[in-house]
Chains A and B, each alone.
Chain A
Amino acid sequence: MTSAVVTQKLTKKYGRKTALSDCSLDIPAGHVVGLVGPNGAGKSTLLQLVCGQLNPTAGSLTVLGAPPVTGSPRIGFVAQDTPVYGSLSIEDHLSFGKHLNPAWDDDLARERIERLDLDPKQKAGKLSGGQRAQVALTLAIAKRPELLLLDEPVAALDPLARREFLQGLMEYVAESGTSVVMSSHLVADLERVCDYMIVLVKSKVRVTGEVEELLATHHHVTGARVDPENLGPGRTVIQARHTDVQSSLVVRSSAPIDDPAFSVAGIDLEDLVLAYMSEAANGRDRVLEKQR
C-alpha cells in the first residue's frame, strides 16, 4: 500500500510555542482519515505543513512521494472557515478555478453547483456558512487532486449543513477514490465518514490506525478494583477510573480479554478517542466536547 503522507519527527514552532512536536506518521493512501484533537492541538499546523503552506522547523515529510510545495495541482485544500472572495460571484470562483488549475474539471464543478441549488450569479459574500463551505469544497475537488485536505470544514456549520457537506464529500470520495485527510475537534463529525483515525493532543500524536482495528483492539473493562500495572502482558491501560471497590478501564489489547474477574465490553469510537484525550489531559477536565 502506498502512503499519502509520511512524516518523520515533524516539528513546528511559532517562536517559542511548539505547535507540533516529533510527529511521525504514515498515512496510507485511499483512506478517509480523521484528524481529531482538541482546539489548539496542532491539527491546522499539521495540515498546513502537508499542503506546503508552512515549512517545518525540524523533521521531514513527504506528500504523495515528494516534498510538499504550495500550488501543487495534486493537493486540494479547504482551509479553516472555508474562505471565499466575498465580492466575487460563484461563477467567478469557478472561472478562476478554471484559469488557475490545469486539471480543472469544469463539468464536475458546474454540476455540483447546480445540484446544490446555488445561483452562479450570486456573490459569495452573501452565501450562508454551509453554502460557502460547499463552494470551497467544489473548488477543491474540481481541481481533481490526489489528496484532499480539509481543515475543520464543518466546525462553523449547523447540523443540517454539516450532514449535507459530509454527504457531498462522501459521494465524491466514493466516485473518485481520492485520499482525504479531514480534521475536526468533534469525533461525531468524523466517525460517520472516516475509516482511519489520528488523535492529536497537545502537539503530539496519541494514536493512529484504521477505525475497525482500533475498535477491535480497545475494550471497556470493569471489575473489582485492580492495579492497572497488574493487568497482564500485552494489555495497555489507556484510561483508568477507580472507586473504592471498582475499577473502570479502557484497555488496548490485541488479544481478547477473557478474564472472569472482569466484565468486558466493546467501545465506541468517541469513547475511545476521549480515553486518549483524557489520558493526555492528565485527569483534568476533558477537553473534547461530546456532541449532543
Chain B
Amino acid sequence: MIWLTWRQFRTQAVIGLALVIAVAAAYLATRSTLLDIARDSGYTACTADCGQLASQFVKTARSGYLGKLYQIGALVLLLFPALVGLFWGAPLVARELEAGTHRLVWNQSISRNRWLGVKLGGIGLATATVAGLASWAITAWASPLDKVDGWVTPLTYAARGIVPIGYAVLAFVVGVTIGMVLRRTVAAMAVTLVVVAAAMVGGLFLREQLVAHSTYQAALPADWDGGISLSPDDPSHDIRVEVEPPEVATWVLSNTILGSTGAKYHGPYDPDYCGPHATKGGDGPQGCRNWLTAQNLQQKVTYIGNDKFWVMQWRETGVLLVASSLLAIFCFWWIRRRVA
C-alpha cells in the first residue's frame, strides 16, 4: 500500500520538495545580507536604549528585496495550507470515487481502513514535514526583524513557529473529508478553499482566547504623550484621549483611558482649559493636557506579549491537530459506512 500511495503521490511530493528547497535556498542565501544590515546600522552592537537603531534597521531591511522576501515568506506560509487542502487533500479520495478506481483498489487484498490509513498518515506526514521545514527556514530568517516588531502580532504569528504545520495538516484532512463526502474533485476543491480560509480567519479569533491576557495599568505620567479629540459644539463636553501602549504590549487587545471612578473616561472636559474657547492654562493644547493629567486618569492596556508566543503556538497547534484527528476518525467511519 505504501508503494501505491507513493506511486500516486510522487508528482505532488516532488512539487512539495521543490517548494521546500526553493524556500530554504532563498532564505539561507539572503540571511547574511540581513545580518549585515543589522550590523551596519549599529543595531547588532547596541546594548542599551536601542529603539532608534532598531527601527532604523527594520526600515532599511524592509525597503529592498529583503522586504519583498519578508512578505513572500508570510504569504507562502499563509497560502500553503490552502494549497495543500486543494491539491493534496481534496482529490485524494474524491478522484478515486469519481473514476471508480476505489472499486479496483478495494478489491485487492487490503482493507479500506489500511488503504485510507496509509494515505492519510503518509501524505499527512509529508504535509507536516513540508510546512515545518518551510516555517523553520522563514522563522529563522526573519528572527532579527521579528525581534524588533514582535512575534505575536496576528499576521506574523500565523507564519512562524509550528502553527503553520497545524493549519497545513488540518487543511489536508479537511480536503480529504470534503472530497470523500462530495465525491467530486472540483466541487471538493472549491468547498475546501472556503473552509480552510474560514478556519484560518476563525484562528485569528480563537488565538486570543488561548492564553491569559496581560494587563498594564498605570496613572498617566505628567509628560504623557497622545492624542486628544473633542467636539466644541457638543453640549455634554465629551472628550477622547488616546495614548500609545507601552512597548511590552506587542499585540494590543484593548487600550483605554479610565477616569478616577474606574470607568472609561470620556469627559466632560472643562471648556475653560480645553477646546477652542479655552482661557486658562496657557496657549494651545498643553493647557488641556495639564488639566487632563490632573483628573487622575489611568491608562489600561490588555495585551499579549512576546513571552506568550510559544505557549500560544503549542496550544493553537494542539487544537488544530485534535480537530484534524477528529476529522480523520470521521473519515474512517464514513468510508466504512457511507461509501460503496
B104 pairs with A71, CB closer than 8 A: no
> Scoring B residues 63 to 85 as 1 if CB is less than 8 Å from chain A, else 0, what string do you get?
00000000000000000000000
CB pair A79 B103 closer than 8 Å = yes
Residues of B within 8 Å of A99, CB to CB, are 1-4
| Contact string against B for A residues 44-58, beta-carbon threshold 8 Å, 1 for contact and 0 otherwise | 000010010110000
Option from A54, A81, A83, A143 in Cβ contact (under 8 Å) with B109: A143
Interface string of B19-39 (1 = CB under 8 A from A): 000000000000000000000
Question: Within 8 Å CB of B2, what residues of A?
Answer: 99
Q: Give chain B interface residues in 1-24, CB to chain A under 8 Å.
A: 1-4, 7-8
Q: A106 to chain B: closest CB distance in Å?
A: 14
The one of A77, A83, A95, A97 in contact with B101, judged by C-beta atoms closer than 8 angstroms, is A83
Q: Decide if B110 is an interface residue (CB 8 Å cutoff).
A: yes
Which among B4, B99, B105, B109 has the greatest number of chain A C-beta atoms within 10 A? Answer: B109
Q: Which residues of B contact A101 (CB under 8 A)?
A: 108-109
Main DSSP-derived SS at the A contact region: loop
Assembled-state Cα–Cα distance A283/B89 (Å):
52
What are the interface flags for B97-140 relative to A under an 8 Å C-beta threshold, 1 for contact and 0 otherwise? 00111011111111110100000000000000000000000000
A84 to B108 alpha-carbon distance, docked (Å):
13
Scoring B residues 328 to 340 as 1 if CB is less than 8 Å from chain A, else 0, what string do you get? 0000000000001
In the bound complex, CA of A103 to CA of B4 (Å): 17
What residue in chain B is nearest A92 (Cβ atoms)? B7
Evaluate whether A77 and B107 lie within 8 angstroms (CB atoms) in the complex, with A85-B101, A86-B99 already known: yes
Q: Nearest chain B CB to A239's CB is how many angstroms away?
A: 35
A76 within 8 A of B: yes
* B106→A70 contact, CB < 8 A: yes
Q: Which residue of A lies closest to B101 (CB)?
A: A83
The residues of B that contact A73 with a CB separation of less than 8 Å are 109
Query: Is A36 located at the chain interface by the 8 A CB criterion?
Result: no
User: When the two chains form the complex, which single residue of B104, B107, B114 contacts A75, counting CB atoms closer than 8 Å?
Assistant: B107
> What is the 8 Å Cβ interface bit string for chain A, positions 72-115, against chain B (1 contact, 0 not)?
11011101110111101000100111011111000000000000
Quick check: A53 and B106 within 8 Å, CB to CB? yes
CB contacts (< 8 Å) of B7 on chain A: these are 88, 92, 95-96
Question: In this complex, what residue of B is CB-closest to A79?
Answer: B103
Contacts of A251 in B (CB 8 A): none
**Distance to closest chain A CB from B306 (angstroms):** 48
- A71-B112, A83-B104 known; A96-B99 Cβ under 8 A: no
Q: Which residues of B contact A84 (CB under 8 A)?
A: 101, 104
Complex: how many Å from CA A261 to CA B228? 118
Closest to B339 in A: A53
Which chain A residue has the least Cβ–Cβ distance from B340?
A54
Contact between A71 and B109, CB atoms less than 8 A apart: yes
B107 and A76 form a contact (CB under 8 A): yes
CA distance A92 to B6 in the complex (A): 12
Nearest CB on A from B8, distance (A)? 7
Task: List CB contacts (< 8 Å) of B151-204 with chain A.
Answer: none
* A187 contacts B by Cβ under 8 Å: no
**CB < 8 Å: which of B100, B110, B340 contacts A100?**
B110
Q: Are A83 and B99 in contact (CB under 8 A)?
A: yes
Rounded to whole angstroms, the CA-CA distance of A143 and B104 in the bound complex is 12
B101:A100 contact, CB within 8 angstroms = no
Q: How far is the CA of A189 from the CA of B109 in the complex (A)?
A: 29
Q: Is the Cβ of B8 less than 8 Å from the Cβ of A51?
A: no
In the assembled complex, which residues on chain A have CB atoms less than 8 Å from the CB atom of B108? 71, 96-97, 100-101, 139, 143
Query: Which of A51, A70, A81, A96 contacts B100 (CB under 8 A)?
Result: A81
| Bound complex: CA A92 to CA B7 (Å) | 8
Query: Which of B4, B103, B111, B112 touches A96 (beta carbons < 8 Å)?
Result: B4
A154 within 8 Å of B (CB atoms) = no
Partner of B104, one of A51, A103, A136: A136
Q: Tell me the complex Cα distance, A86–B98, Å.
A: 12
A140 within 8 A of B: yes
Chain A residue nearest to B337 (CB atoms) is A55
B137–chain A nearest beta-carbon distance, Å: 32
* CB contact between A85 and one of B3, B104, B111 (< 8 Å): that residue: B104
Query: With A and B bound together, what is the CA distance between A136 and B103 in angstroms?
Result: 11
Which of B103, B107, B112, B340 has most A Cβ within 10 Å?
A: B107
**Most-contacted residue by chain B among A80, A100, A103, A143 (CB, 10 A):** A100
What is the CA–CA distance of A101 and B3 in the complex, to the nearest angstrom?
Answer: 13
The residues of A that contact B8 with a CB separation of less than 8 Å are 85, 88
Residues of A within 8 A of B109 (CB): 71-73, 100-103, 143
Contact A79 B3 (CB under 8 A): no
CB-defined contacts of B111 to chain A, threshold 8 Å:
69-71
Q: How far is the CB of A108 from chain B (nearest CB, A)?
A: 15
Complex: chain B residue closest to A136, CB-CB? B104
Minimum distance in angstroms from A237 CB to a CB of chain B: 39
When the two chains form their complex, are residues A140 and B101 in contact, meaning their CB atoms are under 8 A apart? no
The 4 closest A-B pairs by CB, nearest first: A79-B103, A100-B108, A73-B109, A83-B100
Q: Write 12 A-B pairs (CB below 8 A) sorted by A numbering.
A: A53-B103, A70-B107, A70-B112, A71-B114, A75-B107, A79-B107, A83-B101, A83-B104, A84-B104, A86-B99, A96-B4, A97-B108
Write the residues of chain B forming the contact surface with A, with a CB cutoff of 8 angstroms. 1-4, 7-8, 99-101, 103-112, 114, 340
Q: Given contacts A83-B101, A140-B107, could you give 6 more A-B pairs where the C-beta distance is less than 8 Å? A: A53-B340, A85-B104, A86-B99, A95-B7, A96-B7, A100-B110
